[in-house]
Chains A and B, each alone.
Chain A
Amino acid sequence: TQLLEQSPQFLSIQEGENLTVYCNSSSVFSSLQWYRQEPGEGPVLLVTVVTGGEVKKLKRLTFQFGDARKDSSLHITAAQPGDTGLYLCAGDYGNNRLAFGKGNQVVVIP
């Protein structure tokens, strides 16, 4: 059972464009994390959001946690080919066990 739904599953855009991907759940999580995974590698943590309504920025990436702590979004400004990858959201459902979504596959075309 997938606790977290990510949309869109696949997104292809031109270099320089902006994009937003979403992570939604019917459950409330104590924290929500975003990872990026490249082929043949494990996920790498980008950010953790904890407080409802929280916004965090990491260079051109902006992460927002919903007020009810059930959903989150990732916005990339002026996407670069190096942003290509699988973006995974994960919710902590206790004891640091993570429930992952299926991911948003982002392809940035030069």
Chain B
Amino acid sequence: GAGVSQTPSNKVTEKGKYVELRCDPISGHTALYWYRQSLGQGPEFLIYFQGTGAADDSGLPNDRFFAVRPEGSVSTLKIQRTERGDSAVYLCASSQGQTETQYFGPGTRLLVL
């Protein structure tokens, strides 16, 4: 399909490990967003890219979290020294422009043991 895809769909890791989560946006979409959805909560904004640059990273909880989008398409969310509290569904969304509708991927379910 032509929707937003995220890999892996599920990731189980141990406390202290490093993880990378990948997002493939809809082709041609210039804006890309990462959100985190904890159990029983709505999605929480993490970071927003316009093209290759992070236009707003104010939602990243701390410096263990980092995201890149080197070619303005695929993005990777990186989490260092994972903690049990990082367990959540990480959602990616893309939009054609800054004010356009966001289309969400199915998410990556991260479980930190």
List the interface of chain A (C-beta within 8 A of B): 2, 4, 40-45, 48, 88, 90, 95-103
Contacts and interface: CB of A to CB of B under 8 A. Distances in A.
B107 A103 contact: no
Contacts of B104: 42-44
Interface in B47-102: 48, 55-56, 59, 91, 93, 95, 98-102
Given A95-B56, A95-B98, A102 B93 contact: no
B102 A98 contact: yes
B43 A43 contact: yes
Nearest to B43: A100
Contacts of A102: 40-42
Contact of B55 (A4, A48, A95): A95
Interface of B: 4, 31, 33, 35, 40-45, 48, 55-56, 59, 91, 93, 95, 98-107
The listed residue with most B CB atoms (<10 A of its CB), out of A40, A95, A96, A99, is A96
A88 B42 contact: yes
Contacts of B31: 96
Contacts of A42: 4, 91, 93, 104-107
Contact of B45 (A4, A45, A88, A99): A99
B77 to A, nearest CB: 15
B41 A45 contact: no
B40 A97 contact: no
Given A42-B4, A42-B105, A98-B43, 19 more contacts: A40-B106, A40-B107, A42-B91, A42-B106, A43-B91, A43-B104, A45-B101, A45-B103, A90-B42, A90-B43, A95-B55, A96-B33, A96-B100, A97-B56, A98-B33, A98-B102, A99-B45, A100-B42, A100-B44
